Structure 1
C-alpha cells in the first residue's frame, strides 16, 4: 500500500464568487449578533455583524472613490487593530488584491516588497514602518471615515481569480509572495470540520494579533464564515490573563501557537474554563509535554494542524478524530495528500516529503512574478511542501522535520523533533531545540540548546541522552540559553541555533 490519502474531492465553490461575500454571507441574517469582541480585563469593544458589514462595504466604496480599481494590489501596513480585517475584506469586496503584512517588518523589509509588487496603494498606520513611496497612501483615519459611506457591491467573478497575496515567513531564506485565489476561503470549509469542529454557536478566541495571517484566517474569517463570534485580545493584553478572558467571555474554542500555551501554563497552575470545548494549535510542532501539561491543568484537549502559507492547514486532528500517539493527525476530508520519495508515493510507514495534489482548492495560484520558482515546487501533479513525514494505514501523518532542518549525523538522517521529544521532559529544562552544527570543515554533530532556570550539568545531560537515544541521535553538547531564537510568529529558528553555535566557536 502506498502513502496516498484520497477520500474524494471537496465540492467546488459556486460561481460567480467573492471571498468577502462568502465571509459575510450570514451578516444580514445575524445583523444584531456580535461578530467580534475585542476583549481586555477592563471591558470589550463589540462589533455586530451589521456594523462590521457596513464598515467593510463602506470602506470598499471609499477605496473605489480614491481611484483604486479591481485587480489593483494594495499593501497593508496597519497595526494590531480592527482596521486591519476591515480594510482587508473591503479591498476584496471591491475586487482589489490586499497584501497583509506584519507590523513588525522593518522599513528595509517593506521596501523589498514594494519593489517586488509595485502596489497601486498602501493602507498605512503612521506608527507602522514603511518606506517613502510614489504610490497613493491611505491612512487609518481616512479608512475609518469610510465606514459610513454607502455600501459597495461585491465584485463577483471566477473563484479561481487572484484574491489576495501573503508572504511566507522567510525561514527558507527568502520571503515569497504567495498568490491565493478567492476560492481559498471556500477550501477552509475542510478545516471547519477536519480541525476546528466549528459552528454558528461558537465563540472562538485567537491569541494572536489582528495583523497575523493565522489570526486573520482562523480567528476571524472562519468564525464569520459560519456566523460565529470572534474574540480577540486587545493590544497589550498579557498572555497570563488569557484564561481569565476566556472564562469571562465564554470562549468555546481557543486558538494559539504552541508558545502561547507554554506561557499560559507558566503563569497558571490550573485552568478553569467551563465553556471551553478544546484548543487549536498550529505554527510549529506541539510538544507532547505542552499537550499533557495543558490537559492536566484542566484546559482539555489540544488539536494540532499542519500547513503552510501556500495551502493553509490541510493535515490535522479534530474532535472525534484525535491524532495517533506522536502523529499530527490525518488529511482533512476532501484533501488529496501523499508522502513522496524520488519515484513517487512511498509505501506506508516510510519517510518522504509531504505533498498535496495541485487540484486542492486551497492551494496557491503560485509565487508572484516567479513562475519558475512555482514550477520547481511541483513533482508532476504534487506540490512539495519541503516537510518530511510518514503516513500509517489509517492516514495518520507523523511529522519529521523540514527538509532543510533534517540533521545528518555520521551519514544518518535524524529528525530534530525526535531528539527534542526524547529530552524535553528532563527536570530543569523549559524548552529544547536541536540542530546539527559544524565542528570542523568536514564534520557535523548534533548540538542541543535549552532554556531553564540555570545551566545543568552537561555530563548528566549527556548520560540521559545516552539512555534514551541511539548513539547517532545523541547530542554531543548541551548549550544553555536565556531563550531560544524565534521569528515574529513564535516559530523556532533552527538556523539561529547554528548561528549561536558558530559565534561561540569563532575566534575572539
Structure 2
C-alpha cells in the first residue's frame, strides 16, 4: 500500500473572511467570559472576551487612522506581554500584514530583516532592539492608548489573501519570511480534534512566551476561536512553578515544548492536577522517556504534533487516537499527506521517505517573502516538500526520523539522529544529546555525539551505546559541552555543531 493519506476536502473556509474577526467571534456570544488570564507569582490579570475584542478593534482603528496602505507590513518588536497578540490581531483586523520577530534579535539582525520587509511601521516594546532606518515607530505607550480608542472595523476579503508573515530559520542558514493567508486560522480547526481534543469548556495553559508562534497558535488563537480560556504564564514564572499553576487555575490542557516537560520533571511534580486531562507537545521530537515519566508522575498522557512554520502542525496524536510508540501521530482529518521517495512519488508504507503535504491544503503558506524561486523549489507537482524524513506504518501512523539534512549515512545505512539521541539520553550522566555526522578526513565521516551534563569517560559511553544500538548506529566520537547550541525556536542546532567541530579540527 502506498504511503498516502487522503481525507480531502476539509470544510471550506467562509468568504469573505477576516482572521481576527473569526478568532474573536466569541465576544458577541459570551462577552463576560474570561478569554485570557496572564498568570504571575502575584496573581492573574484577566481579560474578558469583550475587553480583548475592544482592545483589538481599538488598535485596528488606530492603525487605520495612520493612513497605512492596505496590506502594508507592520514589524512587531514586542516582548512577552499581552501587547503582542493584541497588536497582531489589530493589524490583521485592519487589513495590514503583521510580521512578528523574536525580541532576542540584535540590532544588526533585525536591521537585515527590516531591509527585506520594508515595514511601514514598527511597533516596539521597551528594551527591544530596533532596526536602523527611517521606519516610524509606535511604542507600547502609544499602542496601549489605542486599546480604549474608537473601534475600527474588520476588513473583510478573500480568505486566500495574505494575513501575516512569520520568519523561519530554514535549512539554508538565512531567515525566510513565510506568508500565511487569512484562511490559515480556519485550517487550524483540523487540530481541534486531530490533536488537542479542544472544546469551549477547556482552560488551556501554554508554557511559552506570548511572542512565540507555538504559543500564538496553540495557546491563544485556537482557544479563543473555540470559545475556551487561555492561560499564559507571565514574567517571573519558571518551570518549577508550573505544576502549582496548573492546579491553582484548573487547567484542563497543558501545552509546552519537550524541554519544559523535562525541567518540570527534574524539579518534581509538586502539586496535584485533578482537572488536567492531557498535555500537548511540539517544537521538537518528544523523547519517549519524558513521555513515560510524565505519565507516571501525573497520570496523564502527552500528545505530540509534527509540523513546520510553513503549515503549522498536521501530524499528531490525539485523545481520540493516540499515536503508537515511536510514532509522532497520524495525519489530521482533512489533510492529504504523502511520503515520497527520491523520484517524488509515494513510497510503500513501511519505507522511509520525505514527508509532503498537498499544495491544496488551506493551512499551507502562500510562499516565501520576495523569494519566488525558493518557493517554487519547495514544490514537486502537487506536493510541498517538508524536508522531514518519516515512515508511514500500515495503519497510517507517522514516525519522524529527522531532517533530510540531519540524516546520517553510516556504511550505506541511513541513520536518524533522533534514534541515537533517544538511546543515549537514558544514560544518567547525560543531560542533553545531539548527534551529527562529522567529517574527520576528506573522504571519511563518522557519527559524533555531543552532550551536556557530567563529563563521562568515552569508553564507558561506547560500552553503554553497544548495549542499545546496532554497531553502525553507534557514535565513534563523544564530545562534552557545557551547553548545546539551539536556534531561536529552542531546537537543537545539529548543523552548527557539525560545522563548528569540523572548522576547529580543520584548523588543527
Following superposition of structure 1 onto structure 2, how do residues 283-322 of structure 1 map, counting pairs within 5 Å? 283-298=283-298, 300-322=300-322
Distance in 1 (alpha carbons) for counterparts of 2:299 and 2:432? 20
CA 1:223–1:98 in 2, change beyond 3 Å: closer, same or farther? same
2:8 equivalent to 1:8: yes
Deviation at 1:188, TM superposition (A): 0.2
- Which residue does the alignment assign to 1:370? 371
Q: Which 10-residue stretch deviates more, 236-245 or 354-363?
A: 236-245
1:499 Cα shift? Answer: 4.0
| SS state at 2:451 partner | strand
Q: Calculate the aligned-residue CA RMSD, in Å.
A: 1.4
Q: Distance between the aligned counterparts of 1:171 and 1:299, measured in 2?
A: 38
Unaligned runs of 5+ in 2: none
Alignment of 1:90-101 (within 5 A): 90-101=90-101
Alignment partner, residue 182 of structure 1: 182
- 2:134 matched to which residue of 1? 134
Structure 1 residue 423, shift from structure 2 partner: 2.2
Range 246-255 or range 180-189, more displaced: 246-255
Instruction: Please identify, of 113-122 and 270-279, the stretch whose mean Cα deviation from structure 2 is larger.
Output: 270-279
SS at 1:349 equivalent = coil
Q: Is the 8 A contact 1:209 1:235 kept in 2?
A: no
Give the structure 1 partner of residue 46 of structure 2: 46
Deviates more, 1:312-321 or 1:402-411: 402-411
Larger mean Cα displacement after TM superposition, 456-465 or 99-108: 456-465
Shift of 1:299: 5.3
Quick check: 442-451 or 358-367, which moved more? Answer: 442-451
Q: How big is the shift at 1:172?
A: 3.7
Aligned mates of 1:225, 1:123 — CA distance in 2: 25
CA apart distance, 1:170: 3.8
Matches within 5 A, 1:262-411: 262-269=262-269, 272-298=272-298, 300-343=300-343, 344-411=345-412
- Partner SS for 2:52: helix
The Cα shift of 1:269 comes to: 4.8
Contact persistence 2:391–2:398 (CA under 8 A):
yes
Q: CA deviation at 1:412?
A: 2.4
Question: How far apart are the structure 2 equivalents of 1:104 and 1:167?
Answer: 13
Show the counterpart of 2:119.
Answer: 119
Report deviation, 1:171. Answer: 4.6
Give the Cα–Cα distance (whole angstroms) in 1 for the partners of residues 174 and 488 of structure 2.
15
Post-superposition CA distance 1:150-176 (Å, at most 9, x none): 211110010000111111134541111
Larger CA deviation: 482-491 vs 229-238:
482-491
Which residue is 2:450 aligned to?
A: 449
Q: Find the counterpart in structure 2 of residue 252 from structure 1.
A: 252
Q: Distance in 2 between matches of 1:378 and 1:245?
A: 44
CA distance, structure 2, for counterparts of residue 345 and residue 110 of structure 1: 40
- CA offsets, 1:447-491, max 9 Å, x none? 112222x22221121112222222211101222222221123211
Question: By how many angstroms is 1:40 displaced?
Answer: 1.5
Residues 271 and 297 in structure 1, CA contact (< 8 A), matched pair in contact too: no
SS at 2:123 equivalent: strand
Cα shift at 1:503: 5.8
Q: How many residues align?
A: 507
Say which is worse superposed, 319-328 or 430-439, in terms of deviation.
430-439
Distance in 2 between residues matched to 1:27 and 1:298, nearest whole Å: 34
Contact 2:22 2:225 in 1 (8 A): yes
TM-score, normalised by the number of residues in structure 1 = 0.97
Shift of 1:507: 4.9
- 1:428: which partner in 2? 429
- Secondary structure of 2:479's counterpart equals strand
Residue 50 of structure 1, CA deviation: 0.6
Bigger mean CA deviation after superposition, 83-92 or 233-242: 233-242
Deviation at 1:500, TM superposition (A): 4.7
The aligned counterpart of 2:476 is: 476
